[in-house]
Amino acid sequence: MSRVLVVGGAGFLGAHLCNNLVTEGHYVVAFDNLSGGKTSNLSHDVKFIKGDMRDLNALRMVFSLCEFDVVYLLAALPHEGLSVFCPAQIMDNNVTGSLNVLTTALTYHVPRFVFFSSMARYGKGDGESKPPFKENSVPTPVDPYGHSKYQFEKLLELYSKQYDFKYRILVPHNFYGPLQNMSDPYRNVVTIFINRLLQNKPLYIYGDGEQLRSFSYVDDSISSMIKMGISDDENLDNQVINIGPTGNEISIKQLANKISKLMKSNLKHIHIKDRPCEVKHAYCTNDKAEKLLGFKESVKFNEGLKRTIKWCESQGPKQFNYWTSFELINNDIPTTWSERLL
**pLDDT for the residue 164:** 84
**pLDDT for the residue 126:** 76
Across the beta sheet with 166-172, the strand order is 47-50, 27-32, 3-7, 70-73, 112-116, 166-172, 240-243
Number of H helices, E strands in the chain: 11, 14
Looking at the domain covering 3-176+216-243, what would its CATH class be?
A: alpha beta
The angle, 0 to 180 degrees and rounded to 10, between the axes of the packed helices 301-315 and 189-198 is: 50
Other beta carbons within 10 Å of 287 = 15
Closest to 29 measured CA to CA, from 58, 74, 68, 77: 68
Q: How far apart are CA 93 and CA 263, in angstroms?
A: 36
**pLDDT for the residue 324:** 74
Please list, residue by residue across 242-264, b when 16 or more beta carbons sit within 10 angstroms of its beta carbon and e when fewer do: bbbbbeebbbbbebbebbbeebe
Other beta carbons within 10 Å of 238 = 15
**pLDDT for the residue 130:** 85
What global pTM score does this model have?
0.96
**pLDDT for the residue 280:** 93
Helix (H, G, I), strand (E, B) or coil at 63: helix
Mean pLDDT by 10 residues, the chain (342 residues): 97 98 98 96 98 98 97 96 96 97 97 97 84 94 97 97 93 95 96 98 98 96 98 97 93 98 98 95 95 96 98 98 91 96 94
Sort strands 112-116 and 27-32 into parallel, antiparallel or unpaired: unpaired
Q: Enumerate the domain spans of the chain.
A: 3-176+216-243
**pLDDT for the residue 89:** 95
200 class by beta-carbon count within 10 Å (0-12 exposed, 13-18 middle, 19+ buried)? exposed
**pLDDT for the residue 262:** 98
